[in-house]
Amino acid sequence: MPNLLINDLREIAKGFSEDPDDWPHIPCPTCKRGALLPVPDSFEAEESVTSKAMHVHEVWEPEWIRGDFHCVLACRKETCDRVRVVGELTVDYAGLQDVQYEQNLMPTMFFPALPLLESRELCASEVGERVDAAAKILWLDPNAAANRIRSAVEALMDAQGVISTKPNRTGKAVNLSLDNRIATFKAEQPQHADAADLLLAVKWIGNVGSHEDVLRVRDVLEGVEFLDQALFLIYDTNPDEMKKRASEVTARRGRPGTFSIKVPF
Quick one: average pLDDT of 40-52?
Answer: 96
Confidence of residue 154 (pLDDT cuts 50, 70, 90): very high
Those residues whose C-beta lies under 8 Å from the C-beta of residue 155, and which sit 6 or more positions away, are 124, 126, 127, 130
Say yes or no to pLDDT of 71 above 90.
yes
Q: 200-252 pLDDT, tens per residue? A: 999 999 999 998 889 999 999 999 999 999 999 999 877 777 778 788 888 87
257 versus 150: the higher-pLDDT residue is 150
As a whole number, mean pLDDT of residues 67-75 equals 97
Query: How many C-beta atoms lie closer than 10 Å to residue 22's C-beta?
Result: 8
Query: Please, which pLDDT band fits residue 172 given cuts at 50, 70 and 90?
Result: confident
Say yes or no to pLDDT of 62 above 90.
yes
What pLDDT, on the 0 to 100 scale, is given for residue 169? 84
**pTM confidence score:** 0.86
Q: Pairing mode, if any, of strands 66-75 and 36-38?
A: antiparallel
Q: Is the pLDDT of residue 93 over 60?
A: yes
In this prediction, residue 1 carries a pLDDT of 58
Model pLDDT, residue 261: 53
Percent of the chain with pLDDT over 70: 96
Query: Using one digit for the tens of pLDDT, what is the confidence trace for 107-120?
Result: 999 999 999 999 88
Looking at residue 192, its pLDDT comes to 97
pLDDT of residue 59: 95
